[in-house]
Structure 1
Amino acid sequence: MKRFISRRSFLKTAGVTTAAAAVAVGAPSASACFGKGKLPEITILYTNDVHTYIDHKSPELTYASIAALKKSYEEQGKNVLLVDAGDHIQGTAYGSMDDGATIIRLMNEAGYDLATPGNHEFDYGMDRAKMVLKEADFPYVSCNWIDLRSGLRVLPSIKLFNIKGAFVAFVGITTPETFTKSTPAYFMNAKQTRYIYDILGGDDGAKLYNAVQKAIDKAKTLGADYIIGLGHLGVDPSSAPWTSKDVIAHTTGFNAFIDGHSHTVMAGETVADAAGTPVLLTQTGSYFKNIGCMTINPESAVGTITTTLLSTYEGADPVVDAIAKEWVADVDDMLGEEIAVGDGEFYISDAETGKRRIRSAETNLGDFVADGIYAYFNEIEELHCDIAVMNGGGIRADVPAGAWSFKTCKMVSPFGNVACLMSVTGKQIQDALEFAARFAGSGQENGGFLHVAGATYEIHTEIPNTVLTDEKNVWLGSATGTPRVQNVKIYDKVLGDYVPLDPERKYALAGMNYTLRNLGDGFAMFDGAELIKDYVSEDYLVMSSYAMMFGGADGDGLPHLTSANSPLADYPGYLLDYENPYGAGRITIL
């Protein structure tokens, strides 16, 4: 067998910086491969949850640096594959401005060999998701994405690579949370009367585990020497029973598992499968913080798989680099006009701890985005709007103090959802807030956590959640016990005060059609509600319009985003406090 330079020497000469205290964890490889004589060493480079963050500067990681890293391995005679574990076409303006087309082009040029779809690969609609599969020069795999009309998988469940006589199989797995963390309506027929696609999960995980085990067994039948999960599942407890650890624990046959979805930095952790055999689980984090490097070394006594996370790389492929820079410049030019100035920082994270807060509690940016929807209908559309809601998962980035542009708003709200106004009952509002608060106080994030404008409410976390949901976490019915959400109040513009919610009264509720009309995050309680107006403006343009309505213009004519300058400051008694990172106190968690 050809001898290669040591990994340490390669990393040093190639300009790679590893993550601090890089972890190398051994996991026994399949026993079948050791009866075939010497097999080659194999390197697998991997990414996950890149979310279109392509404007990094060297030595931070980019698709150009990944392409150069892969080529450097190949030039040394190494056997190398490059794979991605999902969520690569959505996240910033660089993805949403062309529905991920440039990202796929970059991945093609970078030399990706395989990917599995994450939940955000569906954010531009089912037609676009399936077109992405055609635009990619590399195959996609998923063992649990099913077309219910035929009963067949949409994609192959596995991909088998023959690398100099060694067969490496990847099992693709997509999170069943895709239904509620993308848009459920995209998985339904045109009339939204039934699902025509499924992402197998099961409320106890059995459907998912069975699909994965069948794929593993197929890989074994085809003679795979190594079987690796390529999953977009994550390890967050809120994703149970569909986490990667759950899948490993309920199946047998994996040697390693490359994961995504939870944005976890995990160089390597061993998890016992259903037979007690250790499986190496790894994930790079998100946003190009790291490239994963998995090495399969069959020359050790038992055969070992090790993993390392690489945080920087100084090389860059010129072709990939040029494509990225041109697209970044084009988007910056399209969205670069400055429209306002933020005197302070707007947060999705906790200002003290840095931990993401927007999906579990109030922040000033959550207030700002909800206020933008509320003001858009009341001030620009000149329609009566009682309350606006915005899901925390649709608010994606902190905004530092300084100039705001259209791009700033697009980075905060990149999804391209549009605002709508509906007539709903107070009971439906109560149901929505109760559903949104079902995980509050548990430490679990919820993309459906609702930020409000024109309303206040309390969440009593000591009261158990009793909201009825189906196996896809879509709302089925009201809480059967004491409600966790209490003292809901709606702002009355005539009285200049907040008054108790009347369950029987009709209210004008504004939000994104993702939440109010398309079952996003599982909000199904608005079915049958009267539509007042839809498709008025995209999410980032609603926010941009609100920013441009502020007063306090400076010498350049740019308004300043402070509470006193908000057009809503003219509403007597309306709660505004953008200067407080934790918001104006509209949501009280007890």
Structure 2
Amino acid sequence: MGRRTVIGGAAATALAAAGFQAVPAYAGPLGKHDPRTVRLSVMGTTDLHGNVFNWDYFKNTEYDDSAHNDIGLAKISTLVTAVRERIAREGRTPAPLMLDAGDTIQGTPLAYYFAKVQPITGGHLHPMAAAMNEIGYDAAALGNHEFNYGLDILRKFQRQLKFPLLGANAQDWTTGLPVFPPYVLKRVHVPGERPITVGILGLTNPGIAIWDKANVENKIKFGGIVELAKYWVPRVRRAGADVVIVAAHSGADLSSSYGDALPVPENASALMAEEVPGIDAVLVGHAHQEIPERLVTNKATGDQVVLTEPLKWGMRLAVIDLDLQKVHGRWKVVARHSQVLNANTVAADPRVTDLLQKDHDKVVEYVNAKVGTCTEAMSAATAPWEDTAALDFVNFVQADAVSKALAGTPQASLPVLAIAAPFNRGAAIPAGDVSVRDVAGLYIFDNTLLGVTMTGAQVKDYLEFSAQYFKQVSGSGPFPSDQVTNAPTSTAPTGTPDYNYDILGGLTKPMSYQIDIAKPVGSRITDLQYGGVAVAADQQFVVAVNNYRQSGGGNFPHVKTAPVVYNRQVEIRQLMIDYVSTTGEVNPATFHTTDWSLTSNGSPIVVS
């Protein structure tokens, strides 16, 4: 707790501690401050993912990580107050605006509880809506995870907000018209002058069409970020906007986790700034990156556009400063700057924590409730590079659920496999009493379960694709894990995330294989066997898989076109909790065997 010593009322101290840098206002051609310059400040968050408190519900303790980041809207509120107080103390007008770039209502047990256990459709105010309303947001963009719980929850959340939820490229399936407000105009006061009209355009991620296909198909389609910005930015200008800010739930650097499954890219914010005239600033989301300031030159106008991304979970607050002057009677941005402020330097705002303490306490009680016992401890810390009981447990529950559901169907006699990714290296189930949070920590996403049929050849292709997660190294080691895992690829230039590496397991018989990481990508899977017998290319399997992967997330081969034989929209995490509740015990001896391993030129390697 020692580093969290600053309170919101001491604005100058709080901002200095958070890393705020005062930037001189625009200077004219002679390098002197022009008194006609007006500065508009815009604050922003993104990828809050259900975080209000600086709390790790899975560890049941205050949040911390290797960089000692803090999280949550309560911390952000303190920084927002400090920025507002500084601007007011300086006598500056207009007052600052507050925006968000999406992924708000999914990601923590707090968010899950009020979507699934006590859904807000029953009348409870969503804690994220309550916190954002209290802080005083002016607008927010839709994120892809807003659609995870279905349209009823999303529409209820939208109605609970005191500000617009924007999504210009969320379009009616038939008419193509936007089904959420595409933009909002905010008029901010300037003494002695006409107001500055700020147009805020919201764009979300086209990948929703893949990742939440079950919730949006035949209802909502999603156009490209660049294409819809080209359509809407001129309209926002014609509607009277002097300034155009885009809140884009799309990473800055061009890439797509879904490859060519969609004709438009997943991450395109920088491309949009280059290609679409008329944008002054972009609040970037989705990629969970920290971008204090990036200046992009628009190809058509030569004007600079400032991009900023404030990391994730409320770790940072972005502050964009736009200096404006009157040009031919209209306000025009003549200079731009952005920075991010660190939330770990301030205390939580008691207005927010007091408002939501009962919700928080209710969820803490829920996730700490005992559901069973475990005969021995299981950890996911080494799951990316060795076969662990923790991931075998996930695969066992998935495969078992699909197998039971297939009884009496034509697929009932087929061998059942399951696929799981090491989502959370920090997850662990202790020996002894097991709580909801222990089980849920192994599966931190709200994915649902499907079963598809695949051939032996397709399973091998799938594993080869998954194995690109490893960097190519030779020798027996020992290698530090970061020298082996998270290899960069063309679609993940900063490194393949853990959630895009899949591990395969069998239900009644082991699916065994080795991954030779001395070999090039595409020829790494060796000794692929089912029940001790080499897998035949035409052998048929049922594969249990999550909806994200089956709908194309990660762009793994075959799975999105494979015939679906099971889809009851049951959440995998809840299946795991139900398994422990029903059986009363988790015993790794019933499901854990060492079936896969890493090798180098056929010899075992050691990863530390």
TM-score normalised by structure 1 residue count: 0.72
Say whether 1:284 aligns with 2:284.
no
Change (3 A) 1:586 1:170: farther
Say whether 1:249 aligns with 2:274.
yes
Q: Deviation at 1:525? A: 4.2
Change (3 A) 1:484 1:566: same
Say whether 1:173 aligns with 2:203.
yes
Distance in 2, matches of 1:231 and 1:220, equals: 18
Q: Deviation at 1:229? A: 1.7
Change (3 A) 1:280 1:522: same
Q: Deviation at 1:266? A: 1.3
The answer as to whether partners of 1:118 and 1:175 remain within 8 angstroms in 2 is yes
Aligned partner of 2:427 among 399, 405, 417: 399
Aligned partner of 2:105 among 66, 89, 105: 89
Match of 1:216 in 2: 233
Equivalent residue of 2:251, what SS? coil
Say whether 1:238 aligns with 2:248.
no
Match of 1:451 in 2: 503
Q: Deviation at 1:39? A: 6.2
Measured against aligned partners, the alpha-carbon deviations of 1:24-45 in whole angstroms (never above 9, x if no partner) come to 889989xxxxxx9946433222
Change (3 A) 1:250 1:303: closer
In structure 1, stretches of 5+ residues that fail to align are 1-8, 30-35, 190-195, 202-207, 352-356, 466-482, 551-556
Pairing 1:58-207 to 2, within 5 Å after superposition: 60-71=70-81, 73-74=83-84, 76=88, 79-99=95-115, 101-164=126-189, 165-180=195-210, 182-189=211-218, 196-201=219-224
AA in 1 matched with 2:221: D
The answer as to whether partners of 2:47 and 2:104 remain within 8 angstroms in 1 is yes
Distance in 1, matches of 2:604 and 2:222, equals: 36
- Identity within the alignment, %: 22
Q: Deviation at 1:307? A: 2.6
Aligned partner of 2:42 among 17, 41, 44: 44
The answer as to whether partners of 1:65 and 1:316 remain within 8 angstroms in 2 is yes
Match of 1:192 in 2: none
Q: Deviation at 1:333? A: 1.1
Match of 1:509 in 2: 543
Match of 2:286 in 1: 261
Distance in 2, matches of 1:513 and 1:50, equals: 22
AA in 2 matched with 1:219: V
Measured against aligned partners, the alpha-carbon deviations of 1:239-262 in whole angstroms (never above 9, x if no partner) come to 357421122222222222110111
Q: Deviation at 1:567? A: 1.4
Change (3 A) 1:216 1:288: same
Change (3 A) 1:313 1:438: closer
Change (3 A) 1:47 1:411: farther
Most deviating of 218-227 and 380-389: 380-389
Equivalent residue of 2:153, what SS? helix
Equivalent residue of 1:502, what SS? coil
Distance in 1, matches of 2:180 and 2:405, equals: 45
Distance in 2, matches of 1:448 and 1:397, equals: 14
Change (3 A) 1:448 1:69: closer
Equivalent residue of 1:138, what SS? coil
Distance in 2, matches of 1:24 and 1:262, equals: 27
Q: Deviation at 1:120? A: 0.7
Distance in 2, matches of 1:576 and 1:229, equals: 46
Distance in 2, matches of 1:337 and 1:160, equals: 47
Q: Alpha carbon RMSD of aligned pairs, Å?
A: 4.4
AA in 1 matched with 2:537: P
Distance in 2, matches of 1:529 and 1:219, equals: 44
Q: Deviation at 1:318? A: 3.9
Say whether 1:53 aligns with 2:51.
yes
Aligned partner of 2:322 among 296, 311, 326: 296
The answer as to whether partners of 2:453 and 2:562 remain within 8 angstroms in 1 is no
Instruction: Count residues with an aligned counterpart.
Output: 508
Change (3 A) 1:113 1:461: farther
AA in 2 matched with 1:409: V
Change (3 A) 1:586 1:277: farther
Distance in 2, matches of 1:70 and 1:127, equals: 31
Distance in 2, matches of 1:291 and 1:38, equals: 28
Change (3 A) 1:502 1:25: farther
Most deviating of 375-384 and 410-419: 375-384
The answer as to whether partners of 2:98 and 2:136 remain within 8 angstroms in 1 is yes
Pairing 1:28-39 to 2, within 5 Å after superposition: 38=36
TM-score normalised by structure 2 residue count: 0.70
Measured against aligned partners, the alpha-carbon deviations of 1:321-368 in whole angstroms (never above 9, x if no partner) come to 123321121112122124456746423xxx7xxxxx96xx77745454
Say whether 1:388 aligns with 2:427.
no
Match of 2:14 in 1: 15
Q: Deviation at 1:272? A: 2.0
Q: Deviation at 1:233? A: 0.6
Match of 2:473 in 1: none
Most deviating of 442-451 and 540-549: 540-549
Equivalent residue of 1:566, what SS? helix
Measured against aligned partners, the alpha-carbon deviations of 1:50-85 in whole angstroms (never above 9, x if no partner) come to 111233169945323434444455563660221111
AA in 1 matched with 2:171: I
In structure 2, stretches of 5+ residues that fail to align are 1-7, 28-33, 56-61, 63-68, 121-125, 190-194, 257-264, 327-332, 471-486
Match of 1:568 in 2: 591
The answer as to whether partners of 2:182 and 2:201 remain within 8 angstroms in 1 is yes
The answer as to whether partners of 1:457 and 1:586 remain within 8 angstroms in 2 is no
Distance in 2, matches of 1:198 and 1:134, equals: 21
Change (3 A) 1:283 1:530: closer
Change (3 A) 1:243 1:530: closer
AA in 2 matched with 1:296: L
Distance in 1, matches of 2:23 and 2:391, equals: 41
The answer as to whether partners of 1:343 and 1:401 remain within 8 angstroms in 2 is yes
Match of 1:540 in 2: 573
AA in 1 matched with 2:169: N
Match of 1:336 in 2: 368
